[in-house]
Structure 1
Amino acid sequence: MPAPQKTVRRSLLVASATLLSLSLTAPAALAAPSPGPSASASPGAARSAAPPANMSTVGGTRLGQPGTQVNLASGVPVLPKDVTARSWIVADAESGEVLAAHNAHWRLAPASTLKMLFADTLLPKFPSSMTYKVAPEDLADVGAGSSLVGIKEDETYTVHDLWLGVFLRSGNDAVHVLSAMNDGLDKTVREMNEHAEELQALDTHVVSPDGYDAPGQVSSAYDLTLIARSGLQKKDFREYCSTLTAKFPGETKKNKKGRTVRETFEIQNTNRLLTGDYDITQYQGIAGVKNGNTTNAGATFTGVAERDGRVLLVTVMNPQKDEHNEVYKETARLFDWGFQAAGKVEPVGELVPPRGAVRSDGRPGATATAPADTGEAGGAAAGGTSRAPVASAATESGSTGMGIALGIAGGLLVLLVGGTFLVNRRWPLPDLVRRRR
């Protein structure tokens, strides 16, 4: 590895968790099967199709080649043999180096991992304390069988509540409500496609902002990794994607005493590398990001983890082995390989900066600006919302501290200032401080 890319190192405080035995009630699927086939994949034959001979070469020529790309040499561990995904990538989140990849630019259905792009696009638009009353038309186009957080018509939610619903429960209902606040699905889809182009995620085409299967909706392991890397530079994105459990507002009802009350219910993250499950343990150092599962996409997942001061991103799309939690098991194997190989293996490509970004090595980009690190968005979307949000400083839903990102001293952090995207440098990931049972 080039030495300059390894000079800025700061260890992140990550406490190892005891194994969590959560009784999760979330369904495995994070978006609904589509009634029609996707342009990128369909059940059966399409899933077994070979990758195109010519794919995008963004990030390096080898990343556009079909098959596994890795530079094995003396001292470099052999890749795990039991990885069956159609496409995957292992990258250093700090330097942007791609350590290994398999069909990295194969355009496939992304499922709910596409919600990372939705969040990276819309998070800066609305402050977390803003409240919004849901109208029936906001939920009219939610696909049949979608994963839902449980939003009710004519109830009021904070933006904080809605983002918890997006990240923890992969709630398509929450996506549609936030899209309504952004003046509709069409505008949201357009902005997501524009943002994908800005990030140079050129394999990605958005049709439905929630990741629900739709003809022509595609992304790639490379693009999802770029998108995750961009999103993780936002403080609120980091906090939401690393939250294990939270309290979500229920329906307003009258209790037995005739009083109007609104109780909360617990929602839990469906990312099994964060929570663990009966056949998989919580992954040491995991800090997000997003999972998905549809008929056309199969299981998809992008994760970020830290170990010994090194942060890796892994994306896995559509494992062919039909076992419970297989996408997480294959991701864990690739993380293990990446942490062993980092510093030893010669990269096969890189995660490119957004267009117009200023790199830490001084090389310029093209024209667009990158998102700044945000703790809380500063205002609403330009042009307002379809209905004025309720102006109130509502209390945010309580969320447990097990997976919440903690503040890290700013002096050692590299922030995004003045629209510049400082690649090859570290941004603050959550310290995963867990409670022991």
Structure 2
Amino acid sequence: MMLLMTLGVQGSVAAEESESSLDLRVNGAILIDADSGKVLYEENSDKPLGIASMTKMMTEYLMFEALEDGTITWDQEYKVTEYTYKVSQDRRLSNVPLRRDGSYTIRELYEAVAIYSANAATIAIAESIAGSEVDFVHLMNEKAEELGLTDYKFVNSTGLNNSDLQGMHPSEFGEKDENVMPARSVAKLAYHLLKEYPEVLDTTKIAKKTFREGTDDAIDMVNWNFMLPGLVYEYEGIDGLKTGTTEFAGHCFTGTAVRDGRRVIAVVMNAVDDKGVGSYEARFDATRVLFDYGFKEFSETELLKAGHQFKKQKTLDVMKGKEKKVAIATKKPISMLVRNDEDQDYTTELVLDEKLVKNGQIQAPIKKGTVVGHVKLVKKDGSDYGFIDGKIVDTEVVTTEEVKKAGWFSLTMGAIGNFFSSAWNSSTGFVKGLFN
């Protein structure tokens, strides 16, 4: 059990300003800090929606994992199957055409996926890792559970509607099925991808590249992320991550950008313009609004200093110690990305460990630095969005000095004193009782 005490940060002033909408025209959106996972903004972020080719972030995650554990290698050759050949010839879809008798390295296929969102190349990577797309889809759903994603459903490796896969989609799913996740889960997937495999950005930042340059199969690939430098909707600092578009999902985008050493991740789902029409421009406009909000409105703020002592709980009573009290204070400071006008909106909660501290007392001997509880931050109006991985901002509370156990004689005398004090109180109460 833990004992909870609410104590105000010194100098803090209440503020009741509610979060204002950014007026995004989307079905779902979220903005997070890529380093800490702090959620800076969200709209309808828990509703499962179509994710289209943002699916490929999961395929990329599993590819990097397979490279890491040696299941595949960058130079490994993939032999084209009838499935990937037929899909690659469908020019309605984003693809690099694959030869029926051709072979392609994992690196070539990955670049086609990360830059050009090539669908047949995505299936080829899935087959290389798991043997078949259906087995790869099982890995996708298992990894989603492992990463703590919620309300997800993966039915193929690409994000296409299964009806686009010419009857060769994983047979356990319906022909009209499509991958779905809420914006919060999409952001969490992107967060883990960047945390664990940041090298993905070395490729997603490439605006243009020629597939198999110098061969008869050469095809120019322009990145579908039109916010990259040199492209039509360029935005300073952007270097990823994945677009997605289907009729079911609408125009979606998971973007990431960095400025002044701080990176954010934005997800927009089914973005439309002011006439309600989905478009590439609409999704990038919505992303730009989120990026600007994150970079301009937030800053890293120290909300509680190391060594902070609370006015109402500077010490704990000590049992069987040479000293009667021991001082306590925060071990480390608490810093967090906070909206610029909300740095005074947080209070602190001191939580004492009741296994160690009972009725406000702790038993000697006590070492300096003994952890007796922790302090966490709480936003006064309750509108803090928290962290993408569910963590809580807190810091340990420790003793700031050592208290040795009292000697045998002191403990004995103390016990005798307590006995006579108790006896005196009892006898006094008895005598008083005679005259009542």
- Name the TM-score, length of structure 2 as normaliser: 0.58
The yes-or-no answer on 1:230 pairing with 2:192 is yes
Question: Is the 2:207–2:231 contact (alpha carbons within 8 Å) kept by the matching residues of 1?
Answer: no
1:291 aligns with one of 210, 235, 243: 243
Displacement of 1:134 = 1.5
Distance 1:170 1:152 in 2: 18
Superposition pairs of residues 242-391 of structure 1, within 5 angstroms: 242-249=205-212, 262=216, 264-275=218-229, 277-278=231-232, 280=233, 282-321=234-273, 322=277, 323-343=279-299, 344-345=338-339, 347-352=384-389
**Structure 1 residues 202 and 284: alpha-carbon distance in aligned structure 2, compared to 1, 3 A threshold:** same
Displacement of 1:195 = 0.6
Query: Equivalent residue of 1:154, what SS?
Result: coil
What is the CA deviation profile of residues 26-57 of structure 1, one whole-angstrom value per residue up to 9, with x for unaligned ones?
Answer: xxxxxxxxxxxxxxxxxxxxxxxxxxxxxxxx
Give the equivalent residue in structure 2 for 1:57. none
Query: Equivalent residue of 1:287, what SS?
Result: strand
What residue identity is the alignment partner of 1:129? D
Give the equivalent residue in structure 2 for 1:110. 51
The yes-or-no answer on 1:80 pairing with 2:22 is yes
What residue identity is the alignment partner of 1:225? A
**Structure 1 residues 324 and 163: alpha-carbon distance in aligned structure 2, compared to 1, 3 A threshold:** closer
What residue identity is the alignment partner of 2:201? R
Distance 1:73 1:139 in 2: 59
In structure 2, list runs of 5 or more residues that go unmatched. Answer: 1-13, 67-71, 162-175, 300-337, 343-383, 397-436
What is the CA deviation profile of residues 264-286 of structure 1, one whole-angstrom value per residue up to 9, with x for unaligned ones?
Answer: 333221101115544x3x11010
What is the identity percentage for the equivalent residue pairs of Structure 1 and Structure 2? 27
Superposition pairs of residues 420-431 of structure 1, within 5 angstroms: none
Displacement of 1:177 = 1.2
Give the equivalent residue in structure 1 for 2:40. 99
Displacement of 1:320 = 3.0
Distance 2:239 2:84 in 1: 31
* More deviation, 308-317/323-332: 323-332
Query: Equivalent residue of 1:152, what SS?
Result: coil
What is the CA deviation profile of residues 38-86 of structure 1, one whole-angstrom value per residue up to 9, with x for unaligned ones?
Answer: xxxxxxxxxxxxxxxxxxxxxxxxxxxxxxxxx9977x995533x1011
**Structure 1 residues 307 and 236: alpha-carbon distance in aligned structure 2, compared to 1, 3 A threshold:** closer
Displacement of 1:240 = 2.1
Query: Structure 1 segments of 4 or more deviating over 6 A?
Result: 71-74, 358-363
The yes-or-no answer on 1:188 pairing with 2:136 is yes
Distance 1:153 1:246 in 2: 23
Query: Equivalent residue of 1:226, what SS?
Result: helix
* Bigger Cα Rg: 2
Higher relative contact order (CA 8 A, sep 6+): 1
In structure 1, list runs of 5 or more residues that go unmatched. Answer: 1-70, 252-260, 364-437
Give the equivalent residue in structure 2 for 1:129. 75
Distance 1:158 1:235 in 2: 21
Displacement of 1:235 = 3.9
What residue identity is the alignment partner of 1:266? D
Displacement of 1:215 = 2.1
Query: Equivalent residue of 2:185, what SS?
Result: helix
2:182 aligns with one of 214, 220, 237: 220
The yes-or-no answer on 1:201 pairing with 2:149 is yes
What is the CA deviation profile of residues 354-392 of structure 1, one whole-angstrom value per residue up to 9, with x for unaligned ones?
Answer: xxxx999899xxxxxxxxxxxxxxxxxxxxxxxxxxxxx
**Structure 1 residues 262 and 328: alpha-carbon distance in aligned structure 2, compared to 1, 3 A threshold:** same
What residue identity is the alignment partner of 1:124? E
Distance 2:226 2:93 in 1: 19
What residue identity is the alignment partner of 1:239? D
**Structure 1 residues 142 and 201: alpha-carbon distance in aligned structure 2, compared to 1, 3 A threshold:** farther
Displacement of 1:211 = 0.2
Distance 1:288 1:172 in 2: 18
What residue identity is the alignment partner of 2:121? A
**Structure 1 residues 265 and 79: alpha-carbon distance in aligned structure 2, compared to 1, 3 A threshold:** same
**Structure 1 residues 85 and 266: alpha-carbon distance in aligned structure 2, compared to 1, 3 A threshold:** same
What residue identity is the alignment partner of 2:285? K
Query: Equivalent residue of 2:180, what SS?
Result: coil
**Structure 1 residues 318 and 130: alpha-carbon distance in aligned structure 2, compared to 1, 3 A threshold:** same
Distance 2:212 2:179 in 1: 32
Distance 1:317 1:231 in 2: 19
Question: Is the 2:229–2:236 contact (alpha carbons within 8 Å) kept by the matching residues of 1?
Answer: no
What is the CA deviation profile of residues 228-258 of structure 1, one whole-angstrom value per residue up to 9, with x for unaligned ones?
Answer: 111113144222222222231279xxxxxxx
What residue identity is the alignment partner of 1:351? I
Distance 1:327 1:89 in 2: 13
